[in-house]
Amino acid sequence: MVEEGERAVLLDERGRKYLVRAERRLLHTHLGLLNLADLLGVPFGGRVRSHTGREFVVLKPRMADLLQKMRRLPQVVLPKDAAQVVAHTGVGPGDLVVDGGAGSGALALFLGNLVRPNGKVVSYEVREDFAEVARENVRLAGLEGTVEVKLKDMREGIEERGVDLVTLDLPSPEEVVPHAEEALKPGGYLAVFTPSVEQLQRLYPQLRKGRFAELKTLECLVREWEVKEGCTRPSTRMLAHTSYLTLARRI
């Protein structure tokens, strides 16, 4: 049942999605005006109607919805890539994660959702405006108790110790590698996102100097398919590149 001020996802009949709050406000949709106060008392899975009578399904927001609808700065880490960190490190409830730079906080939110309620994500960000966007998104996701955005340059050090996972999405991650080595517990993972090959070429010598094993770099390509009656085929276009993901384990 939606309560006053609560967030909800609205799905229209064409699959368009809205992330809203139950409040006294009109929402302009592609299918007419919708009074958000109408959401009050509707059970999740129920429906509301726009002034033109079109139906919207009311759903409880999940992290996948929040990551789609949050305010994003350019060059966000995409879920397909963030998920490879889960695949290779097994990050989960209770883990202590250090992340940087926060950017709009997409990766911090993604990880915060996985380590809650007892784990913690500390996300470093050197730019105040970015940190503000990230904090706004943490509030949107209701992860204030789990994700902390720290206004600090990671190149000057990582304050946390006994860390399970350090994720880096920075122009020069090689400068942070020694700090990550200090912060990580033995068996913990470093995961680095880098769009260019030059960054890999600078990163590896630094990793090889440190106490790291199981070095691995990968790229993840996701291709969507169209399954229609009589015509099943891949979509015509796809993302050809986002970031390389490099993993290393602290020993």
- Give me 14's structure tokens: 């064409």
Contacts of 138 (CB under 8 A, 6+ apart): 105, 108, 109, 112, 144, 147, 149
What's the first-to-final CA gap in the chain, in angstroms? 49
- Give how far Cα 74 sits from Cα of 43, 118, 177, 232, 242, Å: 36, 30, 24, 33, 12
Taking the CB of residue 191, how many other CB atoms lie within 10 A of it? 27
**Closer CB to a copy of itself, 33 or 238, in the complex:** 238
Size of the site for a copy of itself (CB under 8 A): 79
Q: Are 8 and 61 in contact (CB under 8 A)?
A: yes
- Round to whole Å and give the CA distance between 215 and 164: 16
**Closer CB to a copy of itself, 28 or 241, in the complex:** 241
Amino acid at 53: G
Write out the binding residues for a copy of itself, residues 103-162 only, by CB under 8 A.
113-117
**Least distance to a copy of itself, CB of residue 237, Å:** 6
Binding to a copy of itself by residue 97, rule CB under 8 A?
no
Q: In whole angstroms, what separates CA 191 from the centre of its chain?
A: 14
**Least distance to a copy of itself, CB of residue 142, Å:** 12
**Closer CB to a copy of itself, 88 or 152, in the complex:** 88
Contacts of 73 (CB under 8 A, 6+ apart): 103, 104, 130, 133
**Least distance to a copy of itself, CB of residue 239, Å:** 6
**Closer CB to a copy of itself, 27 or 57, in the complex:** 57
**Closer CB to a copy of itself, 131 or 184, in the complex:** 184
Q: Are 193 and 219 in contact (CB under 8 A)?
A: no
**Closer CB to a copy of itself, 24 or 197, in the complex:** 197
- Encoded one letter per residue, x for contact with a copy of itself by CB under 8 A and - for no contact, window 39-68 reads -----xxx----------x-xx-xxxxxx-
- Give me 246's structure tokens: 């490099």
**Least distance to a copy of itself, CB of residue 244, Å:** 7
**Least distance to a copy of itself, CB of residue 21, Å:** 17
Write out the binding residues for a copy of itself, residues 68-87 only, by CB under 8 A.
78-80, 82-84, 86-87
Write out the binding residues for a copy of itself, residues 175-234 only, by CB under 8 A.
185-187, 195-198, 200-201, 203-205, 213-227, 229-234
Write out the binding residues for a copy of itself, residues 1-20 only, by CB under 8 A.
9, 11, 15, 17
**Closer CB to a copy of itself, 28 or 237, in the complex:** 237
The closest alpha carbon to 167, from 185, 180, 152, belongs to 180
